[in-house]
Amino acid sequence: MRFDILTIFPELFASPLQEGILRRALQAELISVKLHNIRDWTLDKHSMTDDRPFGGGEGMVMKPEPLAACLKDVQTGGKGHVVLLSPKGRQLDQAHVERLATLEKLVLVCGRYEGVDERFRLQYVDEEISIGDYILTGGELAAMVIVDSVTRMLPGVLGCADSAANDTFSRGLLKHGQYTRPREFEGLNVPDVLLCGDHAKVREYRFLESVRETLARRPALLSRVEFTSSERKLLKREGLYQKVQQMMKNHAN
């Protein structure tokens, strides 16, 4: 996967790419990340990337010409899929991340100020993505979230130990709580079942904990989960089946 990032703050991306899984993915050439400074494509003597909005109002708007010139340079080696990071975009979720991970070249355009000129969006942007309903100072951290979440889905990036198949969202249930040494911490013990060595019992316990956590924290997630018949039996035995069924109905879509 190739990421091209258009930004007025390329240095914001330096340290997140220098640590951990992203660093290894870069070294192994499973990804490449190229940063493009929009300011390098300004033509005026003050290198202005923004200007006042026509019609008046607060704040500044990113000028379309430097963005377009920068993008055209980036697209000489293939157009790629052009994403504008924007609070008006569709909210990112794991299914969307997995679709992005199938693409060969992602072009991430980071807005600053009040946004980018509408004509740039109309002419060049394939899709607009938001990372959630809160306000950032610009698109850079959102672009970094996409690089991070997409990279870990690429074949060969994660080891078997923390493979994507075992994730929080892999089957729509939240993950059970986890424990490591010591067996006792500040008076709290690791649940006995995790120490008993009976793998079937452990699996059963973790499944039930996952369902309980999901019921308590994110019940809407249950509407998309499919339970096997033995799981349904287990839920009935634990008196959870009614509640789960109710939640699946409440949040059906």
Please list the active-site residues: 87, 114, 152, 167
Q: Sign of the CA dihedral 98, 133, 16, 41?
A: positive
114 near ligand 9D3, rule: CB under 6 A: yes
136 near ligand 9D3, rule: CB under 6 A: yes
> Are the C-beta atoms of residues 103 and 81 closer than 8 Å to each other?
yes
- Residue in 131, 147, 215, 222 binding ligand 9D3, rule: CB under 6 A: 131
16 near ligand 9D3, rule: CB under 6 A: no
116 near ligand 9D3, rule: CB under 6 A: no
**85: three-class secondary structure by DSSP:** strand
CA 26 to chain centre: 18
96 near ligand 9D3, rule: CB under 6 A: no
Cα dist. 147→107, 167, 181 in Å? 11, 18, 33
Q: Which stretch binds ligand 9D3 (CB under 6 A): 27-35, 93-101, 132-140, 170-178?
A: 132-140
Residue whose C-alpha is closest to residue 17's, from 7, 9, 27 = 27
Smaller CB separation from ligand 9D3, 4 or 212:
4
Smaller CB separation from ligand 9D3, 54 or 134:
134
142 near ligand 9D3, rule: CB under 6 A: yes
Residue-by-residue DSSP string for 43-60: -STT---EEPPTT--SS-
**212: three-class secondary structure by DSSP:** helix
Binding site for ligand 9D3 (CB under 6 A): 85-87, 111, 114-115, 130-132, 134-136, 138-139, 142
